[in-house]
């Protein structure tokens, strides 16, 4: 009944170590089936090489386990909150990939410095503030979801346009129409974070990408007259 999302979540999770985005058991990907109101997510603390599709735990959008023998990822409630409120998301990734996490720890938005960034976003990649003590003491992982959504609301950003965020002092979350796209975004974010760091090291006063280039690169991939790729 849930095999399709278990398989999708499994394949997507297995991409994380291959792409160099995770160490040990760090990181988690989920894949949603909106018609059934559930998602499949990696079990907590199981090494990637020991995972199988059937190990993916099925959870509803309130964070309750629907099916599965193992405990789901400790970040499951963050995924549940985002699925529940952002209704067009089909996959979510959380990693502690080094470069994106370095920016999160520095509590800095990743400035749009180049066209790689502009191929995906027209704005700096947002860094939500660190969670306050009440949120940390309470239902921490659940509140992490709200920290992300509140920050998007405050910035007037759309989750459909910006599919990535840093949580201050913590690490990145990315999402997309499915788990595969969410993993793709996670790898792009890591690369953009790395490039921005090096650019600012080479020249700390390097300017942001100018508007004409931002628009050119974003529009040729995502605009009405997009001509990037083969369709
Ligand atoms: Zn984390």
Catalytic residue from among 62, 150, 211, 228: 228
For residue 229, what pLDDT is reported? Answer: 86
Find the 94 Cα to ligand 1 centroid distance in Å. 7
32 neighbors 5 (Cβ within 8 angstroms): yes
Find the 13 Cα to ligand 1 centroid distance in Å. 15
Q: Is 150 a catalytic residue?
A: no
Find the 206 Cα to ligand 1 centroid distance in Å. 31
- What does the DSSP assignment read for 171-209? -EEEEESSHHHHHHHHHHHHHHHHHHHHHHHH-TTPPPP
CA–CA gap between residue 174 and residue 94 (Å, rounded): 7
Flag whether the pTM goes above 0.85.
Answer: yes
Residues with Cβ within 8 Å of residue 95, at least 6 apart in sequence: 16, 21, 22, 26, 27, 101, 171, 172, 186, 190
Q: Is 124 a catalytic residue?
A: no
First to last CA, the chain: 33
Determine how many CB atoms are found less than 10 A away from the CB of residue 23: 13
For residue 39, what pLDDT is reported? Answer: 98
- What is the C-alpha R_g of the chain? 17
Find the 171 Cα to ligand 1 centroid distance in Å. 6
pLDDT tens, N- to C-terminus, the chain (231 residues): 999 999 999 999 999 999 999 999 999 999 999 999 999 999 999 999 999 999 999 999 999 999 999 999 999 999 999 999 999 999 999 999 999 999 999 999 999 999 999 999 999 999 999 999 999 999 999 999 999 999 999 999 999 999 999 999 999 999 999 999 999 999 999 999 999 999 999 999 999 999 999 999 999 988 888 888 886
Catalytic residue from among 33, 60, 119, 180: 119
For residue 225, what pLDDT is reported? Answer: 85
CA–CA gap between residue 123 and residue 214 (Å, rounded): 9
Determine how many CB atoms are found less than 10 A away from the CB of residue 113: 21
Candidates 96, 160, 100; CA nearest to 125 is 100
Determine how many CB atoms are found less than 10 A away from the CB of residue 197: 16
Find the 39 Cα to ligand 1 centroid distance in Å. 19
For residue 231, what pLDDT is reported? Answer: 66
Residues with Cβ within 8 Å of residue 134, at least 6 apart in sequence: none
Find the 156 Cα to ligand 1 centroid distance in Å. 25
Hey, which residues does 38 pair with through a beta bridge? 33, 60
What is the edge-to-edge ordering of all strands in the sheet holding 172-176? 65-67, 57-60, 38-41, 28-33, 91-94, 172-176, 164-167, 127-128
Question: In the numeric block, which tokens belong to residue 166?
Answer: 């840093």
């Amino acid at each position: 009944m849930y095999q399709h999302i278990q398989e999708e979540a499994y394949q997507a999770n297995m991409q994380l170590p291959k792409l160099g985005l995770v160490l040990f058991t760090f990181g988690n990907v989920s894949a949603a089936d909106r018609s059934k109101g559930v998602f499949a997510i990696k079990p907590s603390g199981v090494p990637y090489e020991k995972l199988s599709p059937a190990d993916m735990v099925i959870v509803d959008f309130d964070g309750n386990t629907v099916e599965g023998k193992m405990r789901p990822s400790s970040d499951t409630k963050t995924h549940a909150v985002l699925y529940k409120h952002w209704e067009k998301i089909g996959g979510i990734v959380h990693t502690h990939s080094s470069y994106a996490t370095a920016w999160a720890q520095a509590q800095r938005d990743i400035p749009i410095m180049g066209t790689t960034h502009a191929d995906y976003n027209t704005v700096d990649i947002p860094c939500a503030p660190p969670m306050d003590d009440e949120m940390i003491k309470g239902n921490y992982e659940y509140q992490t979801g709200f920290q992300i959504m509140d920050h998007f609301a405050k910035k007037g950003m759309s989750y459909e346009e910006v599919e990535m965020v840093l949580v201050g002092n913590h690490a990145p979350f990315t999402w997309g129409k499915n788990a595969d796209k969410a993993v793709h975004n996670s790898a792009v974010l890591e690369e953009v974070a790395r490039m921005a760091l090096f650019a600012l090291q080479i020249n700390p006063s390097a300017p942001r990408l100018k508007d004409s280039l931002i628009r050119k690169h974003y529009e040729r991939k995502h605009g009405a007259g997009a001509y990037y790729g083969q369709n």
